[in-house]
A and B are shown apart, each in its own frame.
Chain A
Amino acid sequence: MLDRNWLETRVRGLIEDEEDIAPDESLIYFGLDSIRVMELATELKAQGVVVSFEELASNPTIDAWWGLISTRQSAA
């Protein structure tokens, strides 16, 4: 099972930023681009969590992403 800690660490890796990111802050402000969102969607799929690029990209915050991931994990 993926936990929220995993997501936060992964997001920091994707945006190459050491700073703390508020969980409701748009990650676009931290330079998150579509390629990185796609990479995350691909990694999640490999872990058995199917979340589309569009779902991630339309609301790019840690809170929203964790909401999607936790719902999909419990449904699986």
Chain B
Amino acid sequence: MQPDAFLPVAEIQGWPWKDASGSAVFSWRQVGYHDKSLRLPDRLGRAAAKRRNEYLAGRCAARQSIRALTGKSLIPDTDHDRAPIWPSGLVGSISHGGGHAVALVGKQIDYLGLGVDIEPPLDTRRAMKLAPQILTDSELRSDVSPEHVSRAFSAKESLFKALYPLTRVWFGFQDAVLVACDEDGQGTLRLCRDLGSDWPRGRCLPFRHVRFRGAILTRVDIPGPQALSVAPPST
């Protein structure tokens, strides 16, 4: 494993989850422009410094995650829609918000898809204003506290990031509902629209949520064939 000669290695203090994925967190202030291995897409060259740093922090977090998982120092390419193109055999996602960038990367043998999202919590005014877009009508009849609206927003973002690369079907915040969300960090999302034969309306997917460095952090894991085929030993 190559030591990182240029960038301060992000200590993931309090990273809440331990599992088969690699993960890393970078503050956008940790990005070093002198690191020649980090390249900005041409189109970002004109964006504000904060945007460039967010992007680079996300790429640093991705590289760190990949290294934690595989021992190789690789940076994902960027698709035309700014989505990362993961090295062969890997899936993952990157998010930034509240001054932090996080990445979550797994092996395809373990995961079909991984989605992660970090958001500063919505304040009351914004939560009220945006709730009708983030929540479905049925969700609006239950919990509309800013904390819950923020969680729902983030969970649905994570769902999109985990699922879109598999389905290539665009879907929005009205196409999934939170049917459960407990204070221990577990929840369930249910699709309310068909997104392909494997992803019918009514299908439920678990998500996890936690408060992390003041932000709301959520993830959606879609287990891969290996994980699904592991049956308990017969007796």
Contacts and interface: CB of A to CB of B under 8 A. Distances in A.
Interface in A1-50: 15-19, 25-26, 28-31, 33-35, 38-39, 41-42
Contacts of B129: 39, 42
A58 interface: yes
Interface string B120-151: 00100010011001100000000000000000
Nearest to A21: B46
Interface in B166-213: 170-174
Interface of A: 15-19, 25-26, 28-31, 33-35, 38-39, 41-42, 52-54, 57-58
A38 B130 contact: yes
A31 B133 contact: no
Contacts of B82: 26, 28-29
Interface in B49-86: 50-51, 54, 80-82
B81 A17 contact: no
Given A38-B130, A39-B130, A42-B133, A17 B51 contact: yes
18 contacts: A15-B48, A15-B51, A16-B50, A17-B48, A19-B47, A26-B82, A28-B82, A29-B47, A30-B47, A30-B48, A33-B97, A34-B153, A34-B157, A35-B119, A35-B122, A38-B134, A53-B133, A57-B172
Given A26-B81, A38-B134, A39-B130, A31 B170 contact: no
B41 interface: yes
Nearest to A54: B172
Contact of B170 (A16, A42, A58): A58
Contact of B41 (A29, A34, A53): A29
Contact of A31 (B47, B134, B173): B47
A44 to B, nearest CB: 12
B65 to A, nearest CB: 21
Contacts of A16: 48, 50
Interface of B: 41, 43-44, 46-48, 50-51, 54, 80-82, 97, 119, 122, 126, 129-130, 133-134, 153, 157, 170-174
Contacts of B80: 26
A16 B51 CA distance: 10
Nearest to A17: B48
Nearest to A52: B172
Given A28-B81, A53-B133, 15 more contacts: A15-B51, A26-B82, A28-B82, A29-B44, A29-B47, A29-B82, A30-B47, A35-B130, A35-B153, A38-B133, A42-B129, A53-B173, A54-B171, A54-B174, A58-B170
A35 to B, nearest CB: 7
Query: Which 4 residue pairs are nearest across A and B when measured between Cβ atoms?
Result: A54-B172, A31-B51, A17-B48, A38-B133
A26 to B, nearest CB: 7
A6 to B, nearest CB: 19
